[in-house]
Structure 1
Amino acid sequence: MEIMKYQVGDVVKMKKPHPCGINEWEITRTGVDFALKCLGCQRQVMIPRIKFERAVRDIVKKAEGK
C-alpha cells in the first residue's frame, strides 16, 4: 500500500462532489483533522484524517515550493 503525503496547498479530487458541483478541494490544514476549502464556492470544512484518506481519489496539484 502506498503512503500518501499531503501538504497544505495541495489540491485533491474527492470521490463525491460538494453540493455546489465541484469535487476539487485545497488542503488548508493537516493533522488529525484536515481543513479543506472547496474550489467552487470557497466553503471550508474540517473532516477527520481517516475519512479524508478514504474519500481522496487523486492529488490534482501539489503545493508550490515544497
Structure 2
Amino acid sequence: MDIRVGDVLELKKEHPCGSARWQVLRVGMDFRLRCTGCGHELMLPRSKAEKSVKKIIRTEGAQE
C-alpha cells in the first residue's frame, strides 16, 4: 500500500470525537497519525494501520 507523509487516511472505525480521518505524520514500521477532528496523535503498527484504511486522500503537498 502506497501511503506517504501528508496523506489523509479515512479509517473504517471513527475516533471517539466523531472524525474518521487521520493525517499521516510518519511512515515506516509504525505509522504516526493525527486525528483531523481533535488533534490526538497515536502510533500504529504498519500491519494494523493498513488493514483499517478505507480510503487514502492524497494531498498535493505530499512528499514522495
TM-score (norm 1): 0.88
Aligned residues: 63
Q: Work out whether 1:42 is the aligned partner of 2:29.
A: no
RMSD between aligned residues: 1.3
Aligned to 1:22: 19
CA contact (8 A) 1:32 1:48 kept: yes
- Percent of aligned positions that are identical: 43
Structure 1 residues 60 and 42, CA, compared in 2 at 3 Å: closer, same or farther? same
Structure 1, gaps ≥5 residues long:
none
Return 5+ residue gaps in structure 2 as ranges. Answer: none
CA distance in 2, matches of 1:65, 1:30: 12
1:31 partner amino acid: G
Deviation at 1:60, TM superposition (A): 1.9
Question: What is the one-letter code of the residue matched to 1:18?
Answer: H
4+ residue runs over 3 A deviation: none
1:51 aligned counterpart, secondary structure: helix
